[in-house]
Structure 1
Amino acid sequence: MAPQGVETASGMIAACSRGRSSGTPTRVKCSASPIEGAATLGSALAGRATRFETVLTEATGTAVILYTSGTTGQPKGAELSHANMVMNALTCWRLFGAVDDDVHLVTLPLFHSFGQTVQLNAGLYSGATLVLLPRFDAGTALALMERERVTFFAGVPTMYWGLLSAGREKVDVAAITAHLRMAVSGGAALPVEILEQVEKLYGVRIREGYGLSETSPVASFNHPGREAKPGSIGQPVWGVQMRLVDADWNEAPEGEAGEIAIRGHNVMKGYHGRPEATADVLRDGWFRTGDLARRDEDGYYFIVDRAKDMIIRGGYNVYPRELEEIMMTHQDVSLVAVVGVPHPSHGEEVKAFVIRQPGSQLTEDELVDWCRERMATYKYPRLVEFRDDLPMTSTGKILKRRLRDEA
Structure 2
Amino acid sequence: MTNTPSNVAFGTINVAAILAESAARSPEAVALIVNGEETTYGSLWKQTRAYAGALSARGIGPGDRVAVLIPNVADFARAYYAILALGGIVVPLHALLKATEIELVLRDSGAQLLICAAPLLEEGAAGAARAEIDVVSVMAPGSTGEPPRLEAEAATVSPIASYVLCRPEDTATILYTSGTTGKAKGSLGTHFALMEQVHVLLTGTFDVRAGDKVFGGLPLFHTFGQTCVLNAGLRAGATIVLCPRFTGEAALELLHEHKVDVFFGVPTMYAALLEAAKTNPARSGRLRYGISGGASLPLAVLEQFREVFGVEIHEGYGLTETSPVASFNHVGIKPRPGTIGTPIWGVDISIARPEVSDSIELLPTGELGELVIRGHNLFKGYLNHPEDTAEAVVDGWFRTGDLGTKDSDGYLRILDRKKDMIIRNGYNVYPREIEEVLSQHQDVLSVAVFGIPHETHGQEIAAAVIAAPGTTPTSEELTAYAKARLAAYKYPRIITMMPELPLGPSGKVLKRELTALHMNNSGAAAFNPGGGN
What is the TM-score normalised by the length of structure 1? 0.92
- Alignment equivalent of 2:262, drawn from 152, 165, 189: 152
Please state how far the C-alpha of 1:344 moved relative to its aligned partner.
1.2
Please state how far the C-alpha of 1:98 moved relative to its aligned partner.
4.1
- Alignment equivalent of 1:88, drawn from 197, 200, 204: 197
- The residue type paired with residue 274 of structure 1 is H
- The residue type paired with residue 405 of structure 2 is R
Q: Which residue of 2 aligns with 1:75?
A: 184
- The residue type paired with residue 149 of structure 1 is K
Q: Which residue of 1 aligns with 2:332?
A: 225
Q: Which residue of 2 aligns with 1:51?
A: 160
- Superimposed CA distance per residue, residues 184-232 of structure 1 (whole angstroms, 9 cap, x where no aligned partner): 0000111111011111101110000110000000100001222310011
Of Structure 1 and Structure 2, the greater helix share is in 2
Q: Which residue of 2 aligns with 1:383?
A: 494
| CA distance in 1 between partners of 2:373 and 2:279 (Å) | 42
1:103 to 2:131 alignment: no
1:35 to 2:119 alignment: yes
Q: Which residue of 2 aligns with 1:402?
A: 513
Structure 1 unpaired stretches of 5+ = 8-12
- The DSSP-based 3-state class of the residue aligned with 2:180 is coil
Alignment of 1:208-357 (within 5 A): 208-246=315-353, 247-248=355-356, 249-357=360-468
| CA distance in 2 between partners of 1:3 and 1:276 (Å) | 41
Q: Which residue of 1 aligns with 2:246?
A: 136
1:181 to 2:281 alignment: no
Deviates more, 1:317-326 or 1:358-367: 358-367
In structure 2, the CA distance between the partners of 1:34 and 1:182, relative to structure 1 (3 Å rule), is same
- Superimposed CA distance per residue, residues 128-158 of structure 1 (whole angstroms, 9 cap, x where no aligned partner): 0111112211111111111111111111100
In structure 2, the CA distance between the partners of 1:310 and 1:43, relative to structure 1 (3 Å rule), is farther
| CA distance in 2 between partners of 1:14 and 1:74 (Å) | 38
Higher Cα Rg, which structure = 2
- The DSSP-based 3-state class of the residue aligned with 2:482 is helix
| CA distance in 2 between partners of 1:4 and 1:396 (Å) | 23
In structure 2, the CA distance between the partners of 1:4 and 1:337, relative to structure 1 (3 Å rule), is closer
In structure 2, the CA distance between the partners of 1:306 and 1:3, relative to structure 1 (3 Å rule), is closer
- The DSSP-based 3-state class of the residue aligned with 1:294 is strand
- The residue type paired with residue 39 of structure 1 is S
Please state how far the C-alpha of 1:25 moved relative to its aligned partner.
8.9
Q: Which residue of 2 aligns with 1:112?
A: 222
- The residue type paired with residue 366 of structure 1 is E
Please state how far the C-alpha of 1:27 moved relative to its aligned partner.
7.8
| CA distance in 1 between partners of 2:40 and 2:328 (Å) | 26
Q: Is the 8 A contact 1:292 1:303 kept in 2?
A: yes
Q: Is the 8 A contact 2:33 2:242 kept in 1?
A: no
1:374 to 2:481 alignment: no
| CA distance in 2 between partners of 1:91 and 1:54 (Å) | 23
| CA distance in 1 between partners of 2:271 and 2:397 (Å) | 34
Please state how far the C-alpha of 1:325 moved relative to its aligned partner.
0.4
Q: Is the 8 A contact 2:212 2:261 kept in 1?
A: yes
In structure 2, the CA distance between the partners of 1:148 and 1:44, relative to structure 1 (3 Å rule), is farther
Structure 2 unpaired stretches of 5+ = 1-28, 48-72, 77-116, 122-135, 139-149, 519-533
In structure 2, the CA distance between the partners of 1:169 and 1:31, relative to structure 1 (3 Å rule), is farther
- Superimposed CA distance per residue, residues 311-357 of structure 1 (whole angstroms, 9 cap, x where no aligned partner): 11111111000000011111221211001011111111001111122
Q: Is the 8 A contact 2:502 2:514 kept in 1?
A: yes
Please state how far the C-alpha of 1:264 moved relative to its aligned partner.
0.4
- The DSSP-based 3-state class of the residue aligned with 1:388 is coil
- Superimposed CA distance per residue, residues 364-395 of structure 1 (whole angstroms, 9 cap, x where no aligned partner): 11211221111111111011111121111233
- Superimposed CA distance per residue, residues 259-306 of structure 1 (whole angstroms, 9 cap, x where no aligned partner): 000010001111111110001011232111001111122110010101
Please state how far the C-alpha of 1:6 moved relative to its aligned partner.
4.8
- Report how many aligned residue pairs link the two structures: 395
In structure 2, the CA distance between the partners of 1:4 and 1:107, relative to structure 1 (3 Å rule), is closer
| CA distance in 1 between partners of 2:490 and 2:243 (Å) | 40
Q: Is the 8 A contact 1:5 1:31 kept in 2?
A: no
Q: Which residue of 2 aligns with 1:202?
A: 309
| CA distance in 1 between partners of 2:38 and 2:178 (Å) | 27
- The residue type paired with residue 163 of structure 1 is L
| CA distance in 1 between partners of 2:409 and 2:33 (Å) | 45
| CA distance in 1 between partners of 2:75 and 2:160 (Å) | 24
| CA distance in 2 between partners of 1:84 and 1:278 (Å) | 17
Q: Which residue of 2 aligns with 1:122?
A: 232
| CA distance in 2 between partners of 1:164 and 1:34 (Å) | 33
- Alignment equivalent of 1:393, drawn from 490, 493, 504: 504
- Alignment equivalent of 1:62, drawn from 159, 165, 171: 171
- Superimposed CA distance per residue, residues 66-117 of structure 1 (whole angstroms, 9 cap, x where no aligned partner): 1110011111111111100000011111122343420111111111110111
What is the TM-score normalised by the length of structure 2? 0.71
In structure 2, the CA distance between the partners of 1:97 and 1:3, relative to structure 1 (3 Å rule), is closer
- The residue type paired with residue 2 of structure 1 is V
Of Structure 1 and Structure 2, the greater strand share is in 1
Q: Which residue of 2 aligns with 1:10?
A: none
In structure 2, the CA distance between the partners of 1:75 and 1:114, relative to structure 1 (3 Å rule), is same
> How large is the RMSD of aligned CA atoms in angstroms?
2.2
Please state how far the C-alpha of 1:18 moved relative to its aligned partner.
3.5
| CA distance in 2 between partners of 1:372 and 1:130 (Å) | 45
- Superimposed CA distance per residue, residues 9-35 of structure 1 (whole angstroms, 9 cap, x where no aligned partner): xxxx7655548xxxx995889599942
Q: Is the 8 A contact 2:33 2:239 kept in 1?
A: no
Q: Is the 8 A contact 2:267 2:296 kept in 1?
A: yes
Please state how far the C-alpha of 1:65 moved relative to its aligned partner.
1.1
